[in-house]
Chains A and B, each alone.
Chain A
């Protein structure tokens, strides 16, 4: 019964939002890219880069928000590189994305090692503190679970709302979605699908980097290699799970985080009876399951992964 008691603790539900935040940023970033027709497998590397850059900026004396901002800018720059290779040049989005991931993560490790010599325990910074929303955070249970998060978590949810609004209610959103479905039609409307795609990839990549940055400025307080741990790939799976819709992406990230937070606590309850690795596998297995369930009904953007070259079909 102890296993079920976990669900009634407010700390579990607080942890859900905390664990979900990097996933929300990452999934939203990947979703924005894919809605305009470009798969961005650079996500894992860009998240790693964002994690290091934000941490390093703060470690050098800047404040936390500057750290997040610098991470977003660096992520956007790698997005621009990905965009240049996949949109005007029309290279394979799979291989380019992997190349960006390998490049961004190796560059991250190189610069980190260059700036800081090897030490047994990584240096730390003062991370984001929970921001209790006056009034709401005093509500028992719900207050602790929902309204005592760090500021970037609220920002992530705000970003989802803004994206959903832009996609469904603005001409810009319509143009982005149309670019993902049929870039030739966009061209016929007098818009430039190449520019739209480059723009979405840059914005999407900046969001991915902020997801990584959250790990080092809020979840933990230091950077270490391989800390992203496949979260980027999970985000790519979550986009499919969400059928390319921002609202469902939020839901997917929260569900995923709920399982993750639950398995962490379950480990303590069950103790050593089951190898801890089995628990750690759960999130990865879940994302494959989510892919399998949703792949059939998913409404894939029709022009996803099809490079657009003017005058070429």
Chain B
């Protein structure tokens, strides 16, 4: 038996791959749920109910989707150009910290709506700058960006901890390590009354559309794809690899930073060390499940959000540890990788 490269990939396979991957992942996770003494079908029913059962749960699922779209896009954009940005988590936190800092101090100087725009842009810049470091090290010195971006996540988290226990500490938080709150003026408008859903969701979807247009309809989009598929050929064709990677880094880091700024101005209102339950890492799964397609990212982000929100309520109802959500998501990543292989290779005897 051997693998043989396909000449072209049928569209059916492209769409079937994530579906098959998720079904296999759910089946495998079902074994673990059974280990907890719960019927997996009951558990999955509770999860769907927990994610869709009521107006509140739907709004919660969509609230969770928002940062996942953005971190998913951040990973998708970078991976397409073979830029391994694993630092989404750190970029998110830095964007969040900048947003909290500006949100606290800016509203008194600038009118609300303008302040919001400035804050979100600043969050993007923060995320982009954080990724530029590792990318410049890669271009100039050949330092692998996987390790540097991963390690930067830990450094940023310590930096955030230092800030919210130091200069940006909320004096009214009863000693809890928590940043100063953002001004009410700069909180993002709600999308749905009596819920936590905010217009950040629309911003995220808009970002996905913009990324899709840029990738499929512009020269720059073509260049990033070429740089990822075959750097040598791309460079012969006159594409400046370094410049392209830097631009991709700005977009990728910016999207992750935006995710953080939106979490702060839309949902939390301040920064704590549990602001993100690993959105940066889940974003990688979101991107891979979507086959790095920006529109696909929106759909797979909803899926991952369903798993997380659903698992929380299922855990309360049936007592299965909510870590099962992370298990489902991570197995999906591995099964998706295998399914993706069969979209570009076939098995020959």
Partner-B contacts on A (CB < 8 A): 41, 81, 85, 89-92, 94-96, 98-100, 102-103, 105-107, 109-110, 113-114, 229-230, 233-234, 236-237, 240, 275, 277-278, 280-281, 284-285, 287-288, 291-292, 295-296, 309-312
Contact = CB atoms under 8 A, between A and B. Distances in A.
Contacts of B155: 281, 284-285
Most buried by A among B151, B153, B281, B326: B151
Interface string B336-349: 01100100000000
- Majority DSSP secondary structure for residues of A touching B: helix
Nearest to A118: B321
A176 to B, nearest CB: 21
Contacts of A92: 337
Contacts of A277: 158-159, 161-162, 165
Interface size class of B (residues with CB under 8 A): 35 or more
Interface string B1-32: 01101000000000000000000000000001
Contacts of A90: 3, 341
B147 interface: yes
Given A85-B334, A295-B141, A102 B161 contact: no
Nearest to B321: A113
B141 A292 contact: yes
B151 A284 contact: yes
Contact of A102 (B36, B141, B144, B330): B330
Interface of B: 2-3, 5, 32, 35-36, 79, 84, 86, 137, 141-144, 146-148, 150-155, 158-159, 161-162, 165-166, 281, 284-285, 288, 321, 323-324, 326-327, 329-331, 333-334, 337-338, 341
A284 B334 contact: no
Contacts, number: 126
B26 to A, nearest CB: 14
A277 B161 CA distance: 7
Nearest to A312: B5
Nearest to B162: A277
Given A275-B165, A296-B141, A110 B327 contact: yes
A110 B143 CA distance: 35
B195 to A, nearest CB: 29
A114 B337 CA distance: 28
B188 to A, nearest CB: 30
B337 A99 contact: yes
Contacts of B32: 107, 110
Given A94-B146, A229-B154, A292-B141, A102 B281 contact: yes
A233 B79 CA distance: 20
A17 to B, nearest CB: 23
A291 B148 contact: yes
Most buried by A among B3, B159, B330: B330
Nearest to A295: B143
A114 B33 CA distance: 10
B30 to A, nearest CB: 13
Given A106-B330, A114-B36, A277-B159, A237 B147 contact: yes
A236 B152 CA distance: 14
B162 A109 contact: no
25 contacts: A85-B338, A91-B338, A92-B337, A95-B284, A95-B288, A95-B337, A96-B337, A98-B333, A102-B285, A106-B323, A106-B329, A109-B326, A110-B324, A114-B35, A114-B36, A114-B321, A233-B151, A236-B147, A275-B162, A275-B165, A275-B166, A277-B159, A284-B158, A295-B144, A296-B141
